[in-house]
Structure 1
Amino acid sequence: MSTKQPRTYADIIRRSFTSLLLTIGIIIVLTVSITLVVDQLLRAQNQAEQLSASLETSQVTNFQDWLAINRSSGLNSHNTFVFIRNANGSTTSLLPHGASLAAADTWSVPFTHLTYIKGWGLFFAEALKTGGRTYHLYIGMHVLVGNLHVLISVLIIAIGISLLIGLWFVRRLAKRISAPTIQLATAAQQAAANPEMTQTELPQPTEPVEVAQLAKDFNQLLASQNGRLQRERQFISDASHELRTPIATIRGNLKLIKRRGDQHPEIIPESLGFIDQESLRMQHLIENLLHLSRADRAEVVRQPIALSTLAQGVVSHYQPLISQPLTFMGSDETAMALGDTDMLHQILTALLDNAHKYSPADQPITVQVATHADTVTLTVADLGDGIPAADRAHIFERFYRVDASRSSKIEGSGLGLAIVAQLVQLNQGTITVADNVPRGTRFTVTLQAAKKN
């Protein structure tokens, strides 16, 4: 079974143009031919009516009378024939060779007065009965047939010339139209040949508008892909760096125990402490990576949740674990939001962890839930050192940490806020960061409010 080969721009335009031109040509030929035929038929019918009136008045019975009528009517005697069928069945011809014309085979055109007489041509035929005689009138349509031949020949030649010129023009037009698309496709193929490299922008023509828009969409897709590829590379680099440090520490302490453990047993507890600390750090990092991986593939079914009740519960359970005083603020009306309970619990816990790590031990942390027209907000505010404005655009990136926090005193992998941002997005919400008053940081999560029954 043969499959249809895909066509190029030139093939599609050429075939469409050829079909259009042929269709227009056929319509013109038919229209002009029908108009000419109808006009000639009306003329022949008018002549037949005039001749019938003259025959009915004069009661022509011989050739001399017919010549007199023919001269007065202006008819072409070479194309006009009359046969008289008498009451006794005999036939009289008013022109020479009439007997052979009467004996010739004839075919009538249905629904018309046209009759084709073999060897003589096409005639307009009509019969008139008067005075016991039947006059058979035949008016020749030779002019009509000749004009149709000339007209159709001229139109066929004109259409043929137009088709040749049109195909040449279409070839140039198709080449000009397809050039931007071919250039775009070539650039896309080159970009696809190096999937591991950052792709450059594809050429964007000014016209046709459709191809320009397609190139623009491709470039937006490439920019998104480049950003994703860059983030993946950065993620792998940062994850490798973060894992390399605890592994190097663990291996260094193990080597130290092997070399000097027998002679200096007092270093063993200290080295084991470092190993335990670094392995715990590595465990937390791997758990955070798993959280991110699961969040990327998670499917969330949002349900109405009493956000204020959930926040109060988290605050009550979290307070004994930290030294900073926790304060919950909420409206009297229950704040109902759309979201996943487990994810919202994880979001609030992560924000509290972040506030705990970067706030002084004696400064309070505030959790606030507020309702608005169509949204519900959850805010965690601390009185720490705050986040510089230049760093706020990056704090939700994976492994990003503010420079001031890169110290051994504050543990962390830089994944906590990235996980929070991912979970907020899965719940179709937004998260923003701003300065707190008089100092510190405010993280605000905005969720869609649940409709009240």
Structure 2
Amino acid sequence: MTRRKIPVIDSDTLAIRRASRLVGTRIAIACAAVVAVVVVAVFVYILSEISPGELFEPVPDTDNLQVSAVKLLRAAAVLGVALIVLAGVLSWLVTRRAVQPLGDVLRIQRAFVADASHELRTPLAVLDARLQILQRTLSADDPSASVVAELRSDAKDLIHIVNDLLESAEVGGAAVHDTVVVDLIAAVDAAVQSMALIAVDKHVNIELDAPQLASVRVPAISITRCVVALLDNAVRFAPYDSAITVSVAVTKKTVAVTVRDRGPGIHGIDPARIFGRFAHSAPPDADGDESRTGFGIGLSLVREIVVRYGGSVHVVDSTAAGTAICLTVPRAKPA
């Protein structure tokens, strides 16, 4: 006789189930309250149109209740508006109370990410320094030199991830203050110049197409950080000997920065989801398709920054001919 295995349910699943039952119960109570109001309103209206003596007659008279069509329509309209307002208020109260724990969880999560990132930065920096010392002591023909170089590269990747996590937590939790008017073109050009040094290893050329001036109320360092993240994603998937274009379009109310590469495009995931933290698409197929599979936290940080300053970011298009991502921020009048 085989024993039936009892599934183990984790605490998060139990918490979600409890929250679902709580929200469901509150909505059911709210709906019951609305129905009760309807029933009571109907009874009150009927009793207002008939006298108590007629109500308790031994032989009911079918002509006791006389309601005109105009009165009935007027009462139905008033009752309908009142019920709509009541349902809206109840829904708002229930939803607000249901979402409040989620906000608390997000704040706790950001605090944890920030604390963990701070704790990891120092050990990783020490690890990278020791690997650098080890790398310097090895001769060029040492068989371990390539392995140590790869270890240093992995350590740098971890340091970048931790820095992105820390910056994401700080951006999400920081308050927005009024910023001075800055030239977006200069900040974008700084990002292009920085990433051009990395793109040269893949023989990728980064081209900037921008007007003379585009004023925004976003810190220049934040603009550069966002464009660097977009270019880092583009360079990572750009084919050798290809070009990446960065174009800036200015309208009366907005300034849009579009980064377009010639990579294989996004597959196996909804393009809108690539701005989630550590979003992953389907793995490359066996035919050698090098489609994007991992997007790290860089694009998530871009979204948090631009949304924080009243902007947005989205995938314009993604095909086999390449991918274009556009970030838009409000335009400011020149100072």
Give the TM-score taking structure 1 as reference length: 0.44
Which of 1 and 2 has higher RCO (CA within 8 Å, sep 6+)? 2
Cα 1:269–1:411, aligned 2, differ >3 Å: closer, same or farther?
A: farther
Equivalents in 2 of 1:386, 1:328: separation in Å?
21
Which residue matches 1:197? 15
Q: Which runs of 5+ in 2 are unaligned?
A: 1-11, 38-82, 128-141
Choose the corresponding residue for 1:328, options 208, 211, 224. Answer: 208
Task: Return the letter of the residue paired with 1:297.
Answer: G
Equivalents in 1 of 2:152, 2:282: separation in Å?
26
Moved more, 219-228 or 365-374: 219-228
Cα 1:344–1:279, aligned 2, differ >3 Å: closer, same or farther?
A: same
On the 8 A contact 2:171/2:305 being kept in 1, the answer is yes
Runs of 4+ in 1 over 6 A off after TM superposition: 230-233, 409-413
Equivalents in 2 of 1:379, 1:195: separation in Å?
40
SS in 1 for 2:325: strand
Query: Which protein is bigger by CA-based radius of gyration?
Result: 1
Aligned residue pairs total: 233
On the 8 A contact 1:302/1:427 being kept in 2, the answer is no
On the 8 A contact 1:382/1:436 being kept in 2, the answer is no
Cα 1:284–1:213, aligned 2, differ >3 Å: closer, same or farther?
A: same
Which residue matches 1:416? 298
Equivalent positions of 1:172-183 (< 5 A) are: none
Which residue matches 1:401? 280
Per-residue deviation at 1:268? 6.0
Choose the corresponding residue for 2:193, options 311, 316, 333. Answer: 316
On the 8 A contact 1:368/1:379 being kept in 2, the answer is yes
On the 8 A contact 1:383/1:440 being kept in 2, the answer is yes
Which residue matches 2:91? 216
Per-residue deviation at 1:310? 2.4
Equivalents in 1 of 2:319, 2:226: separation in Å?
23
Which residue matches 1:372? 251
Per-residue deviation at 1:364? 0.7
Which residue matches 1:440? 322
Cα 1:363–1:224, aligned 2, differ >3 Å: closer, same or farther?
A: farther
1:361 has 2:237 as partner: no
Cα 1:230–1:447, aligned 2, differ >3 Å: closer, same or farther?
A: closer
Equivalents in 1 of 2:218, 2:298: separation in Å?
20
Write the deviation string for residues 367-388 of structure 1: whole angstroms up to 9, x where unpaired.
Answer: 0111112111111111111123
Choose the corresponding residue for 1:279, options 155, 159, 166. Answer: 155
Per-residue deviation at 1:228? 8.1
Task: Return the letter of the residue paired with 1:318.
Answer: M
Per-residue deviation at 1:389? 7.7
Cα 1:405–1:338, aligned 2, differ >3 Å: closer, same or farther?
A: farther
Choose the corresponding residue for 1:429, options 305, 311, 314. Answer: 311
Write the deviation string for residues 14-50 of structure 1: whole angstroms up to 9, x where unpaired.
Answer: xxxxxxxxxxxxxxxxxxxxxxxxxxxxxxxxxxxxx
Cα 1:354–1:413, aligned 2, differ >3 Å: closer, same or farther?
A: closer
Choose the corresponding residue for 1:297, options 152, 158, 173. Answer: 173
Equivalent positions of 1:46-445 (< 5 A) are: 197-198=15-16, 199-200=19-20, 201=23, 202-203=26-27, 204-205=30-31, 207=34, 209=83, 212-221=87-96, 222-223=98-99, 225-226=101-102, 229=105, 272-273=148-149, 275-300=151-176, 301-322=178-199, 323-331=203-211, 333-388=212-267, 390-404=269-283, 414-435=296-317, 439-445=321-327
Which residue matches 1:51? none
Which residue matches 2:49? none
Task: Return the letter of the residue paired with 1:426.
Answer: R
On the 8 A contact 2:317/2:324 being kept in 1, the answer is yes
Task: Return the letter of the residue paired with 1:220.
Answer: T
Per-residue deviation at 1:390? 4.0
Task: Return the letter of the residue paired with 2:174.
Answer: A
Equivalents in 2 of 1:212, 1:431: separation in Å?
35
Task: Return the letter of the residue paired with 1:215.
Answer: L
Cα 1:405–1:389, aligned 2, differ >3 Å: closer, same or farther?
A: closer
Per-residue deviation at 1:195? 12
Equivalents in 2 of 1:293, 1:230: separation in Å?
10
Higher strand share: 1
Per-residue deviation at 1:339? 1.0
SS in 2 for 1:441: strand
Equivalents in 2 of 1:452, 1:271: separation in Å?
52
Cα 1:302–1:389, aligned 2, differ >3 Å: closer, same or farther?
A: farther
SS in 2 for 1:280: helix
Per-residue deviation at 1:358? 1.2
Per-residue deviation at 1:297? 2.1
On the 8 A contact 1:307/1:369 being kept in 2, the answer is no
Task: Return the letter of the residue paired with 2:272.
Answer: A
SS in 2 for 1:447: strand
SS in 2 for 1:197: helix
SS in 1 for 2:275: coil
SS in 1 for 2:314: strand
Moved more, 218-227 or 340-349: 218-227
On the 8 A contact 2:247/2:259 being kept in 1, the answer is yes
Cα 1:320–1:297, aligned 2, differ >3 Å: closer, same or farther?
A: same
Per-residue deviation at 1:306? 1.6
